[in-house]
Amino acid sequence: MFDFEKLTVYSKAKAFNKKVHRFLQNTNLDRTTNSQLRRAALSIMLNIAEGSGRYTKRDKRHFYIISRGSTFECVAVFDYLKDLSALKETEFNEFYADLDELSRMLFSMIQKLS
């Protein structure tokens, strides 16, 4: 088992990706928005994995910061989609809560590495 697979934040990021994937399969978004959301969501998970494999605190922290930035990017996309009425308020709130939790967890990891 790789170290990142033991992290709760990685498991939550993976579950979030599955949720985003299902959302995108059931939603008719333009190709650009679809791709951007998919890549940002995947970036959260992948940067957690990559960061966990780095040797120095500074390198780990760098990838966790990128991962947290990708959570913000996802929030912005969902906010935009809410304004376009491309998702329901309840869906937005659910995604928002997931992203808030991921952001807080990543922030804590970043602080511990400072």
Of the pLDDT bands very low, low, confident and very high (cuts 50, 70, 90), residue 48 is: very high
- Provide the domain limits for residue 94: 3-112
Does residue 64 contact residue 48 with C-beta atoms inside 8 Å? yes
> Rounded distance, CA 45 to CA 15, Å?
10
CATH at residue 51 = 1.20.1440.60
- How much is the pTM? 0.96
Tally of structural domains, the chain: 1
What proportion of the chain, given as a percentage, has pLDDT over 90? 99
Mean pLDDT of 51-71: 97
pLDDT category of residue 25 using cuts at 50, 70 and 90: very high
